[in-house]
């Protein structure tokens, strides 16, 4: 029988998941003060390294703005901690009126896919959410941002272990391949997939057989009506569209401007670093952005000046956004589609009905359930906008990029924007820690007299979700890998550090592997 000295990538990935499962079982019984100390440590290191990873992400991926990525890294570390620090996802709750005790239960092992557009901030965000809810997490970074995301995840793991977190609570797939990702997504030891990225990846998560929280694509219109503060609207739109070179899926894709304020709005946009293209320049931009009617991903996150140069357009220095007048809006008109770069469509309408039709057309094919912004001081129009469009978040008089994602509004701050039933997603909210915990409800008979106070101060032992493979542990060899006896100790030593407890686990695992090897050899 052939013997190989190194495990296959899938075998290694399975061991990562097993290790996460063990760590999660230990962490599930931590008290709230212990959990929040660990969360605070992770948030602090995220904030302290925000600039380092911002520079690294831009250098590795080739797009975005380091200053803005630093802001996102801080918002997704210390910002998330500050927003949720008074929330309690650990202690059981008592409904005294209904005689119900609600017990928080961790989701389990989270498999988190992170995008190249918002790489390290997504790692910080998802890790902190997992830690806050006593889950373990395995990060799978986008290959284009593999190095910076891997380093960030490992740094977080190192810091939280110093604060008492179990070894293996935060892990990363350092060499993600399609085969490995598909294997983990379909693993029965994964409890939920947290997917942020392109449509194909999110759909793959939903079809994996495991529960998944994913998002749909955005194509956000922003309507500026005749009651708007035009100067304020222009600044919000320009700042939002230029933010991190427009890589957030919540960025404005096109302005829908009422004809009565259109001239004033274009002048105000120019004052905020926008260049208004003429028809010929618009057509050249369309060729650069959408060759053969498909979006050219090489322009994602590029600066307005570099895109203008590719389109042979001369723009003033420090131009932040290219504004392209739209002939119409429709599924077959490429410039009215989502553009993850600082190119902004501009369409003039006559009246509210025309505006609603234009905004509805933008999100009909791409963007359903996502976001749409409005600049208005007309309560009736604002309410109509939110009620009639098939979107689930409507920033009002605010930047859409950071408004819909909750950083410039009082929506929950997030890097994962649920699109709900409109967008064929399982979650309609801005994803937060509340989506990674379930509350088991203990309900008493209506006729029973219960002294519910007796349950208030009890100490509960919390457990991880049970899986069929939890006992005995499945150490089957993927792709025919069968380690030699001499290589077992080396391989097992690489899985866990040699503390007394881990050494005992190491011994059990080793015995399982050797036993299975003997069984396999007896069959040959």
Is 415 a residue whose pLDDT tops 80? Answer: yes
Which residue has better confidence, 408 or 426?
A: 408
Residue that terminates a domain, selected from 441, 469, 491: 441
User: Do 256 and 338 fall within a single domain?
Assistant: yes
With respect to residue 21, please indicate whether it lies within any of the assigned structural domains: yes
User: Do 165 and 189 fall within a single domain?
Assistant: yes
> What percentage of the chain reaches a pLDDT higher than 70?
88
- Vertex 431: Cα angle to 430 and 433 (nearest 5): 130
Query: How do beta strands 343-349 and 252-258 pair?
Result: parallel
With respect to residue 75, please indicate whether it lies within any of the assigned structural domains: yes
User: Do 176 and 224 fall within a single domain?
Assistant: no
Catalytic-labelled residue, pool 220, 249, 274, 277? 249
With respect to residue 320, please indicate whether it lies within any of the assigned structural domains: yes
User: Do 78 and 160 fall within a single domain?
Assistant: yes
Spatial CA neighbour of 211 closest among 194, 224, 233: 194
**Structure token digits, residue 382:** 């604002």
- The reported pLDDT for the residue numbered 287 is 96
Query: How do beta strands 100-106 and 437-443 pair?
Result: antiparallel
Binned at pLDDT 50, 70 and 90, residue 459 comes out as confident
Reduced to 3 states (helix: H, G, I; strand: E, B; else coil), residue 285 is helix
With respect to residue 98, please indicate whether it lies within any of the assigned structural domains: no
Q: What pTM does this model have?
A: 0.86
Rounded Cα distance between 211 and 201, Å, is 14
User: Do 259 and 170 fall within a single domain?
Assistant: no
Output the CA torsion 193→195→201→203 (10° steps). Answer: 70
Look up the CATH number of the domain holding residue 392.
3.40.309.10
- The reported pLDDT for the residue numbered 424 is 85
Spell out where 407-449 has E strands.
Answer: 437-443
Mean pLDDT estimate for the chain: 87
Binned at pLDDT 50, 70 and 90, residue 6 comes out as low
User: Do 164 and 278 fall within a single domain?
Assistant: no
With respect to residue 435, please indicate whether it lies within any of the assigned structural domains: yes
Binned at pLDDT 50, 70 and 90, residue 244 comes out as very high
Rounded Cα distance between 125 and 43, Å, is 9
Domain residues for the domain of 243 are 220-404
- The reported pLDDT for the residue numbered 505 is 41
List pLDDT tens digits, range 102-113: 999 999 999 999
Helices 119-132, 32-48: inter-axial angle, 10-degree rounding? 170
- The reported pLDDT for the residue numbered 460 is 72
List pLDDT tens digits, range 150-191: 999 999 999 999 999 999 999 999 888 888 998 999 899 999
With respect to residue 449, please indicate whether it lies within any of the assigned structural domains: no
Is 124 a residue whose pLDDT tops 60? Answer: yes
Residue 174 vs residues 2, 4, 129, 141, 432: alpha-carbon distances, Å: 27, 21, 21, 8, 25
Rounded Cα distance between 464 and 473, Å, is 15
Is 28 a residue whose pLDDT tops 80? Answer: yes
Segment 444-450 shows an average pLDDT of 81
Active site residue 249: yes
Which residue has better confidence, 353 or 499?
A: 353
List pLDDT tens digits, range 39-53: 999 999 999 999 999
Binned at pLDDT 50, 70 and 90, residue 242 comes out as very high
User: Do 165 and 140 fall within a single domain?
Assistant: yes
Binned at pLDDT 50, 70 and 90, residue 465 comes out as confident
Rounded Cα distance between 220 and 254, Å, is 7
User: Do 321 and 177 fall within a single domain?
Assistant: no
| Contact indicator for 410, 419 with CB cutoff of 8 Å | no
Is 259 a residue whose pLDDT tops 60? Answer: yes
Please tell me whether the peptide bond between 472 and the residue prior to it is cis, using omega within 30 degrees of 0: yes
Domain count of the fold of the chain: 3
User: Do 185 and 208 fall within a single domain?
Assistant: yes
User: Do 259 and 364 fall within a single domain?
Assistant: yes
> From edge to edge, which strands make up the β-sheet containing 136-141?
170-172, 136-141, 109-114, 192-195, 212-213
Segment 67-75 shows an average pLDDT of 97
Is 472 a residue whose pLDDT tops 50? Answer: no
User: Do 494 and 514 fall within a single domain?
Assistant: yes
Segment 240-269 shows an average pLDDT of 97
- The reported pLDDT for the residue numbered 277 is 97
- The reported pLDDT for the residue numbered 513 is 44
Helices 32-48, 146-162: inter-axial angle, 10-degree rounding? 140
> What are the phi and psi torsion angles at 92 (to 5°)?
-70, 150
User: Do 201 and 257 fall within a single domain?
Assistant: no
- The reported pLDDT for the residue numbered 448 is 79
- The reported pLDDT for the residue numbered 457 is 74
Look up the CATH number of the domain holding residue 138.
3.40.605.10
């Amino acid at each position: 029988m052939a013997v190989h000295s190194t495990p296959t990538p899938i075998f290694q990935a399975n061991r990562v998941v097993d290790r996460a499962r063990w760590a999660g079982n230990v962490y599930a019984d931590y008290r709230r003060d212990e959990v929040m100390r660990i969360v605070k440590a992770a948030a602090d290191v995220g904030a302290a390294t925000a600039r380092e990873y911002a520079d690294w992400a831009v250098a590795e991926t080739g797009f975005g703005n380091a200053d803005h990525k630093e802001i996102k890294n801080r918002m997704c570390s210390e910002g998330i901690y500050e927003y949720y620090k008074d929330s309690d996802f650990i202690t059981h709750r008592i409904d005294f009126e209904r005689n119900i005790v609600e017990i928080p239960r961790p989701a389990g092992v989270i498999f988190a896919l992170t995008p190249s557009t918002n790489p390290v901030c997504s790692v910080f965000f998802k890790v902190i959410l997992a830690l806050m809810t006593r889950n373990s997490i395995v990060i799978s970074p986008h290959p284009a941002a593999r190095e910076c995301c891997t380093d960030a995840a490992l740094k977080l793991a190192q810091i939280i272990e110093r604060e008492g977190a179990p070894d293996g609570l935060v892990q990363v797939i350092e060499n993600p391949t399609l085969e490995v990702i598909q294997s983990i997504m379909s693993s029965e030891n994964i409890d939920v997939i947290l997917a942020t990225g392109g449509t194909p990846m999110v759909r793959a998560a939903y079809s994996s057989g495991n529960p998944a929280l994913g998002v749909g694509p955005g194509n956000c219109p922003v309507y500026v009506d005749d009651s708007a503060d035009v100067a304020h609207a222009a600044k919000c739109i320009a700042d939002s569209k230029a933010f991190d070179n427009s890589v957030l899926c919540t960025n404005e894709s096109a302005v829908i401007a009422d004809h009565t304020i259109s001239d004033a709005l274009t002048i105000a946009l120019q004052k905020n670093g926008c260049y208004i293209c003429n028809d010929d320049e618009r057509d050249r931009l369309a060729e650069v952005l959408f060759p053969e009617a498909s979006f050219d991903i090489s322009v994602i996150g590029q600066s307005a000046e570099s895109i203008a140069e590719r389109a042979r357009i001369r723009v003033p220095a420090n131009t932040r956004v290219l504004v392209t007048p739209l002939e119409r809006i429709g599924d077959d008109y490429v410039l009215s589609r989502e553009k993850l770069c600082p190119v902004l469509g501009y369409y003039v309408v006559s009246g509210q009905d025309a505006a609603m039709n234009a905004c509805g057309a933008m999100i009909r094919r791409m963007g359903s359930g996502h976001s749409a912004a409005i600049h208005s001081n007309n309560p009736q129009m604002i309410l109509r906008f939110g009620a009639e469009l098939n979107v689930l978040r409507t920033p009002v008089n605010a930047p859409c990029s950071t408004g819909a994602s909750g950083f410039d509004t009082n929506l929950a701050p997030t890097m994962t924007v649920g699109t709900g039933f409109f967008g064929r997603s399982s979650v309609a909210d801005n994803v937060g820690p509340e989506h990674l915990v379930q509350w088991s409800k203990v309900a008493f008979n209506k006729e029973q007299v219960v002294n519910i106070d007796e349950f208030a101060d009890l100490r509960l032992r919390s457990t991880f979700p049970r899986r069929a493979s939890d006992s005995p542990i499945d150490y089957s060899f993927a792709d025919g890998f069968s380690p030699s006896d001499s290589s077992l100790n080396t391989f097992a030593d690489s899985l866990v550090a040699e503390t007394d407890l881990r050494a005992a686990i190491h011994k059990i695992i080793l015995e399982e592997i050797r036993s299975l090897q003997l069984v396999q050899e007896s069959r040959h």
